[in-house]
Amino acid sequence: MNGRIRLAVGNETFLVSRVASAPGLHEYQVRGLTPNGTYFKVAERREPSGEMQKHSTKPDCLRRSATSENVKVSSIRLTPPGAPRPTMGKCRTLGLAVFSSLLVIAAVLLANRLVHANDLPLAVERPNIVILFADDLGYGDVGCYGAKGFVTPQLDRMASEGTRFTSFYVAQPVCTASRAALMTGCYSNRVGMAGALNHTSPIGIAADEVLLPELCQQAGYVTACFGKWHLGHHPQFLPTRNGFHEFFGIPYSNDNGPLHPVIRDIPGLPLIEGEQPIETDPDQSQFTRRITDHAVQFIERNAARPFFLYVPHIMPHVPIFASDKYRGRTARGLYGDVVEELDDSVGEVLSTLKRLNIDDRTLVIFASDNGPFLSYGEHAGSAGPLREGKLTTFEGGVRVPCLMRWPGRIPAGRVCDELASTLDLYPTLASLIGAKLPERRIDGQNLAPLLLGQPDAQPREVFHYYSGDELHAVRWQHWKLHLPHEYLTTAAEPGRGGKPSNYGKLAPAAIEQSGIRGIASRHGYRVESIGVSLFNLQDDVSETHNIANAHPDIVARLQALAAEARADLGDSLTKTTGKNLRPAGRATGTAPR
């Protein structure tokens, strides 16, 4: 498709030129539709049958150009000069048929918006998706983010072959809440999830939420979850009831058993395969090894079809364990050993993709579910330059390392400082795999253009820092406003040997007692408070200089954003009930709280 190509939109014709080409992938620019031109891509992919298929993005003009919304478009044909015109009768795929060198995009505009089944995804080739999600790994715990005392060559390579995000957030600074947001694209409190569930919790993710793996299943993907689930341990909440074909792992955290550093008399930790407990209190030094084996075998079994693999690693959440091969090898001690084993696990996944020749059609994302559990001292990670860690809405709690790699599609060696969140993965991945979003409110933004390095990408501008149902802070661009709230800080000297700070003087509340004081009592924290404080994260990522007095206009703007968030999502600190909240699921026979 070299040379001049015409794109017909209704009765209008526009000139198209090829601006980039890679094996199996061509990018085109359409001139004249929008001031900066508009882009789309065509990919060629050989199907398992041996047949060559071509897939295309819908040109941007059809998604947002007012020009095209004013006309009824019955079909769009992209025809190289001199080629015979295709007939619609030869279209074999929904919305798009490409044969020979012809591309036909059929689309219908009704009532000023696209409603036809031909609403094509942004991506041209549907990638496999792999999400590797560490537990309590800090912002400063990866080599390319400044880790000291251990090395992460595999993650560093992933950064050099992909994009490293420096301003990537989880929705809340604790396990269950963070995972609920990743799986639903919603702020955790919107879907009724908060904190970290334990073996006494009656709730779990609601049945009517459409989880990311469910979107993937709808799009024809085979799905698996290997690691820690943490969205409810009752059978109805397990991964296999929520879109995953396979599950191997634990239902809640690895300290929720006899190895809890403080609380005694917790029942044994179950290891589950599918929905069946297969072991109780398994050897935790084998978790990373066993999860990695499951991941590698899953990829090997499914290399010929699209898959979604979610690997929520159990490490490096306390109690931390490394296998024999790794124990004792880093200057950082056991924590460094554990992260080096995780790093090798990432390397095994990447080398498996390469060996099976599916490397360039697999998007791999690595991130952590929240910041470091600082009360645990040398058994916890580091937030690098960021203030505080897990359980707080300072940057150290919610800003996490994040790497994304998709050779040939995501720019290599790029460092991206734009604001992004696990919230955004849901609509972004839906767009890339051609899944239809559910008709309910979500909070994620489609960042596919940003990921793919497109020139017209619109990054996220606002992020709300919630802890449970308390609104703690708001970020707009590089400005962050803390609203008055309490927070946790390590009670005394950081703990040692896997114990929290102040161990020996703790008066731990029962595990059922959630909330800031219950957590403080069990994990060696004390409660502090902060008033209205404005930080410029560009100059002061450590949140040390409150400049609210110097910028009343910025404070007012952020207060207005906070008011919008409260009306929508609620805020118990100001006793505001949100208009758009959805309840968690509740196990049968358990009484509402």
Positions touching Ca ion (CB under 5 A) are 135-136, 175, 369-370
Strand boundaries in 74-175, DSSP class E: 76-79, 96-99, 102-105, 109-110, 113-114, 128-134, 163-165, 168-169
Alpha-carbon distance of 123 to 34, in angstroms, equals 20
Nearest approach in angstroms of CB 514 to Ca ion is 15
Catalytic residue flag (residue 175): yes
In this complex, which beta carbon is closest to Ca ion, that of residue 136 or of residue 156? 136
Q: Residue 350: how many CB atoms within 10 A of its CB?
A: 22
498 or 578: CB nearest Ca ion: 498
Nearer to Ca ion by Cβ, of 136 and 388: the residue is: 136
Look up residue 118 and give its two tokens: 């031909």
What does residue 76 show for φ and ψ, rounded to 5 degrees?
Answer: -125, 130
Task: Give the three-state DSSP class for 189.
Answer: helix
CB of 253 to Ca ion, least distance (A): 7
DSSP for residue 92: -
E strands present in 445-578: 462-467, 470-476, 479-482, 485-490, 525-530, 533-536
Question: Amino acid letter at 469?
Answer: D
Is residue 106 within 8 A of residue 88, CB to CB? The reply is: yes
- Select 176 or 242, whichever has its Cβ closest to Ca ion: 176
Query: Of 395 and 568, which has the nearer Cβ to Ca ion?
Result: 395
Compare residues 175 and 186 and give the one whose CB is closer to Ca ion: 175
Contact 397, 147 (CB under 8 A): no
Q: Which is nearer to Ca ion, 302 or 489 (CB)?
A: 489
The least distance separating Ca ion from the CB of residue 374, rounded to whole angstroms, comes to: 13
Output the smallest distance, CB 373 to Ca ion, in A.
Answer: 8
Q: Is 38 exposed, middle or buried (0-12, 13-18, 19+ CB in 10 A)?
A: buried
Q: Alpha-carbon distance 153 to 543, whole Å?
A: 30
Of residues 176 and 521, the one with the C-beta less far from Ca ion: 176
CB of 489 to Ca ion, least distance (A): 18
Specify the DSSP class assigned to residue 380.
Answer: S
The nearest distance, CB 490 to Ca ion, in angstroms, is 17
Cα distance between the two ends of the chain: 63
To the query of whether residue 230 is one of the catalytic residues in this protein, the response is: yes
Asked if 196 and 230 count as a contact pair (C-beta separation under 8 A), the reply is yes
| 121 residue type, one letter | P
- Of 44, 35, 42, 74, nearest to 59 by C-alpha is 42
Choice between 135 and 443, CB closer to Ca ion? 135
Q: Is the dihedral of CA 199, 203, 208, 213 positive or negative?
A: negative
Could you tell me the smallest distance in angstroms from the CB atom of residue 318 to Ca ion? 10
Smallest separation, CB 179 to Ca ion (Å): 8
Cα-based angle 123, 127, 132 (whole degrees, multiple of 5): 125
Give the pair of three-digit tokens for residue 568. 């929508």
Closest distance to Ca ion from the beta carbon of 317 (Å): 6
Q: What is the rounded (10 degree) CA torsion for 574, 579, 585, 587? A: 60
Q: Which of 175, 186, 216, 402 is catalytic?
A: 175
Do 216 and 428 touch, CB atoms closer than 8 A?
no
* Closest residue to Ca ion, based on beta-carbon distance: 175
Q: What are phi and psi of 281, to 5 degrees?
A: 50, 60
Q: Sheet harboring 470-476: ordered strands across?
A: 462-467, 470-476, 479-482, 533-536
Amino acid at 76: I
3-state secondary structure 248-306: EEECCCCCCCCCCCCCCCCCCCEEEECCEEEEECCCHHHHHHHHHHHHHHHHHHCCCCC
Q: Could you tell me the smallest distance in angstroms from the CB atom of residue 386 to Ca ion? A: 16
Q: Which residues pair with 276 in a beta bridge?
A: 273
Nearer to Ca ion, 175 or 386 (CB): 175
In the set 26, 55, 230, 317, the catalytic residue is: 230
Task: Give the three-class secondary structure for 521.
Answer: helix
Compute the least distance from the CB of residue 161 to Ca ion, in Å. Answer: 27
**Whole-number Å distance between alpha carbons of 318 and 333:** 14
The catalytic residue positions are: 175, 230
